[in-house]
Amino acid sequence: MFDVPPPFESNGIEAYRETWDLFYSAQPEPIAFDILRMDVIAGTDVAFVAALMRCAETGSDGERSNLDFRLTIGLRKIDGHWTVLHEHHSVPAT
């Protein structure tokens, strides 16, 4: 996975889980993710998802504000199961 906050790249399920532990530990409950737009293109064994997403983040002042980000996921069907091979989060550059 390639993500907005460090680490820039995470490989493997344990490294992936650790990135979410960091995210969830810094956010008050409830955490909500909204899908603003999602496009899915799928073949018989490969799929691609591109989405515009929003979540609420808490700033250093304790105030919550919206965080808009892009999500891209690449999947492949392996032994009959869809497997995420690529996940990328990014925020628009200012």
CATH number at residue 77: 3.10.450.50
Name, in order, each residue with C-beta under 8 angstroms of 19's C-beta and a sequence gap of 6 or more: 1, 3, 5, 7, 10
Question: Is 48 within a domain?
Answer: yes
Q: How many domains does the chain have?
A: 1
> What six digits make up the tokens of 45?
């064994």
Q: Is the pLDDT of residue 66 over 90?
A: no
Q: What is the pLDDT of residues 19-29, one digit of tens each?
A: 777 777 767 66
Asked, for residue 2, whether it belongs to a domain, the answer is: no
How many residues are recorded in the chain? Answer: 94
Note the pTM of the prediction, 2 decimals: 0.70
Q: What number is the average pLDDT over the span 34-55?
A: 96
pLDDT of res. 36: 96
Sequence-separated (6 or more) residues with CB below 8 Å from residue 71? 49, 50, 51, 52, 53, 87, 88, 89
pLDDT at 17 over 90: no
Domain that holds residue 26: 13-90
